[in-house]
Every structure is written in C-alpha cells, then in structure tokens.
C-alpha cells in the first residue's frame, strides 16, 4: 500500500534534517530531502527543521524560498516547523526582530530559555482533558512562544509554556521532537498531511 503513504519533504538547507526523515519514515511516511524549490511540487507536506534561523534566512534569500513556501502553504499543504523552523514560520520574531514567513499568528522569542539552561530535556504534556498524556521534549537554545493568535490552537505544554501549536496547515514546536524516540508529533503531522 505504498501509494497510501504520503510523501513528506524535509527542508535540507541547514540543520538536523536527517533525524526528521527517520522519524517520519518510522511513523509511516515516505520522505524526500528538499534542497531546491522545484522539489516542493512533488511533496505533500514539508518539515522545516531546527538549526540556526539566521543562517536559514540567508540560504532562503539566495533562492526563491520565501515566495515558494508561501505558495506551498497557500495551497493548503502542511508545514511543520521545529525550533528554528518555528521561528521562520511565526508572524513576529523577538530577540532580535528578524524577518519571517508569517504563516502562523504567533510571536516567538529566540533563545528564550537563557544562557544557563541553553539546552534541557523535560516532560511536557500533549493533548487536553482525558486525552492528555506525557510527552518527552528536548529544547536546544529554544525559542519561546510569547503570544498565540486566536486562530492558533495550543497542542502541548511544558513548564507553563505552550510549546506546540497549530493554525490550519501549519504546525510549530519550540522543542525537537525528532531527537526523542516518541513519534507523537510526527504521527500528528502525518495526519495533517493525509
């Protein structure tokens, strides 16, 4: 039934894209590393991985990525942005302000967890009410969601912050779901694509 497995692209300009590919395959999708905007036409969803958002911005400036990604999302195709990927998808970026795609109504603050705790592992919660369950999370120089617009939905929390949010076809995480063994976020995203 290979035809039923969605083909999901992982943006391979910079950052930890291989780990996302492994998680998506483990969760039942086919994957394709996307290094050229033309490749976006073939994939049904896209992951923008963590890395360094300023470096990603420079690489995106060198191609027609801004326009191409807005067209991709405008066609209703799903995008998951983790960490630096979330920073790129947000409508407003702080610390310092920088340009972004504005595909989810959210204000995010870069490197928001301070120097002492640049990276940490924690257990957050995914889902709400009776569906709520623990989710392991790894944060690396992580951005914090400071504001979420009314059309965005908070899906997971850690230490009092929303750390996973969705607005239509766009899903963002301030942590790195690809670095744990838990497939929850990738399964959820495949559900959005399918």
Q: How far is the CB of 29 from ligand GLN (least distance, A)?
A: 22
- Reading the block at residue 190, the tokens are 């495949």
50 binds ligand GLN (CB under 6 A): yes
Instruction: Give the x/- contact pattern for ligand GLN in 77-116, rule: CB under 6 A.
Output: ------xx--x----------------------xx-----
53-73 burial code (b ≥16 CB/10 A, e <16): beebbeebeeeebbebbeebb
Q: Is 176 in the active site?
A: yes
Span from 4-12, 25-33, 48-56, 179-187 in contact with ligand GLN (CB under 6 A) = 48-56
Binding positions for ligand GLN, 142-181, rule CB under 6 A: none
Span from 28-36, 47-55, 123-131, 151-159 in contact with ligand GLN (CB under 6 A) = 47-55
In the chain the beta strands, taken as DSSP E runs, fall at 7-11, 30-34, 45-48, 78-82, 90-94, 104-109, 119-126, 133-140, 144-148, 153-158, 161-167, 170-173
Q: How far is the CB of 50 from ligand GLN (least distance, A)?
A: 3
């Amino acid at each position: 039934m290979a035809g039923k497995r969605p083909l999901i692209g992982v943006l391979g300009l910079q950052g930890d894209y291989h780990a996302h590919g492994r998680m998506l395959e483990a969760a039942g999708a086919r994957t394709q590393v996307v290094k050229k905007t033309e490749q976006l036409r073939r994939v049904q969803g896209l992951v923008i991985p963590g890395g360094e958002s300023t470096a990603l911005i420079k690489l995106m400036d060198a191609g027609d990525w801004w326009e191409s990604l807005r067209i991709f999302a405008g066609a209703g195709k799903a995008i998951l942005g983790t960490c630096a990927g979330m920073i790129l998808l947000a409508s407003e970026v702080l610390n310092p302000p920088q340009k972004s795609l504005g595909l989810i109504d959210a204000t995010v603050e870069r490197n928001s967890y301070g120097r002492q705790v640049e990276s940490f592992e924690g257990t957050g919660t995914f889902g709400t009410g009776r569906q709520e369950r623990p989710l392991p999370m790894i944060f690396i120089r992580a951005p914090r969601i400071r504001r979420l617009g009314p059309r965005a939905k908070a899906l997971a929390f850690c230490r009092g912050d929303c750390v996973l949010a969705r607005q239509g076809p766009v899903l963002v995480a301030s942590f790195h779901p690809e670095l744990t063994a838990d497939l929850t976020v990738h399964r959820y995203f495949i559900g959005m694509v399918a």
